[in-house]
Amino acid sequence: MNYKTPGPDLKRRLPTKRRGDRSSQPLLVVLSGPSGVGKDAVVTTMRKSGRPFHCVITATTRPERAGERNGVDYHFLSEREFQHMIDQHQFLEWASVYGNCYGVPKDEIASALSKGVDVIVKVDVQGARTIKKILPQAVFIFLMPPSVEELEERLRKRHSESSADLALRLAKARKEMQSVQHFDYVITSHQHKLDEIVSQIEAIVAGEKRRVKPSIVEL
């Protein structure tokens, strides 16, 4: 993997802290967890439900999977387009994972936060670590599979990896699950309970906004 830290201009573009009701302050929520744990499904459920969050659309060079839509599930880019965004420092963080690149566009985050809207960013575990170094004020949530066996079954059902790639992902997942201690919260990602997971995320956000010193992304 090859992780890069973006340019220093993001913090200058984020909203300054407003006086008054702390609950009006927008939060940046970073949702992470191992491959196959259900991050995409959770974010899709949040987006479709109309809940008051802006879900950032990740940019990627990987091919579209069946049922995915460009500009909805991901921004599907060519390698040349992705490299241009890197050169222009347009990513909060980006990574090369299993031969494909993934990046979190900064403009989406800055625009939503400037409007007072809470933002959800979906990244892998290493990406979450990178963001924590840049914006430690964000709220970090780890999605944990009920078991490694269930995670393996989910990955097999995707039919998107060879046996060798699947073994590599599972080995990586075991290591990533040991990183949960570096997150603020953990939610067990049970299949067919997406609404329950989303409700837990909402409860976390509500709790953060009731803190005496809330986690606010600011200049």
Q: In this structure, how many other beta carbons lie within 10 angstroms of the beta carbon of residue 5?
A: 13
**With a cut of 50, which residues of the chain have pLDDT below it?**
3, 5, 8, 11-20, 219
Positive or negative torsion for Cα 56, 37, 32, 192: positive
CATH code of domain 23-209: 3.40.50.300
Q: For residues 23 and 116, what is the distance between their CA atoms, to the nearest angstrom?
A: 10
Pairing of strands 75-76, 118-122: unpaired
What pLDDT score does 201 carry?
Answer: 95
Q: For residues 130 and 93, what is the distance between their CA atoms, to the nearest angstrom?
A: 7
What pLDDT score does 93 carry?
Answer: 95
Structural domain spans, the chain = 23-209
What pLDDT score does 55 carry?
Answer: 94
Q: For residues 187 and 200, what is the distance between their CA atoms, to the nearest angstrom?
A: 8
